[in-house]
Structure 1
Amino acid sequence: MPLDLEEQEQLDSLKAFWEKYRSLIMGVVTAVLFVFAAYNGWQWWKNSQATEAGKLYETMMSSIEKGNKAQSMQAADDLQKQFAGTSYAPMASLIAAKLAADAGDAAKSQAYLRWVAEKAANDGYQALGKLRLATALMDEGGAKSLAEADTILKGKPTLGFEPLWLERRGDWYLVQGKNADARTSYLQAWKLLEKSKEFPQEARSLLKVKLDAVGGIE
Structure 2
Amino acid sequence: MARHPSDEEQLEAVKRWWQENGRSIIIGLILGAGAVGGWWGWGAWQERAAVDAANAYADFMAPANQGEYETAVRRGELVLENHGRSLYATMAALQLGALHMQEGDPAAAAESLRWAADNADSEAMRSLARLRLARALAADGQHETALEKLDNGGAYAGQMAELRADILLELEREDEARSAYRAALNHDDISPTQRELIQIKLDDLGSGA
Bucket of the pairwise TM-score, normalised by the shorter protein: 0.7 to 0.9
* 1:135-169 Cα deviation digits (max 9, x unpaired): 1112232xxx1221122125x74x43333333333
| C-alpha deviation, 1:77, in angstroms | 0.3
Deviations 1:59-115 (A, max 9, x none): 222213443222111110000000011121121222222222222222212111111
Give the Å deviation of 1:129. 1.3
| Aligned alpha-carbon RMSD (Å) | 3.5
Give the one of 146, 149, 152 matched to 1:152: 149
Q: CA deviation at 1:40?
A: 2.9
Q: Which protein shows a greater Rg?
A: 2
- TM-score, normalising length from structure 2? 0.75
Q: What TM-score comes out, normalization by structure 1 length?
A: 0.72
Q: Matched residue pairs, number?
A: 200
Change (3 A) 1:110 1:177: same
Note if 1:209 corresponds to 2:209: no
Q: Quote the offset at 1:19 in angstroms.
A: 5.4
How many Å separate the matches in 2 of 1:66 and 1:118? 28
The answer (yes or no) to whether the contact 1:190–1:204 under 8 Å persists in 2 is no
Could you tell me how far apart the structure 2 residues matched to 1:172 and 1:114 are? 19
Identity of aligned residues (%): 23
Find the residue that maps to 1:153 and give its secondary structure. Answer: coil
CA displacement 1:17-39 (0-9 Å, x = unmatched): x958x85x778766665554444
Structure 1 residues not aligned, in runs of 5+ = 194-198
Structure 2 regions of 5+ residues with no counterpart? Answer: none
CA distance in 2 between counterparts of 1:150 and 1:100 reads 21
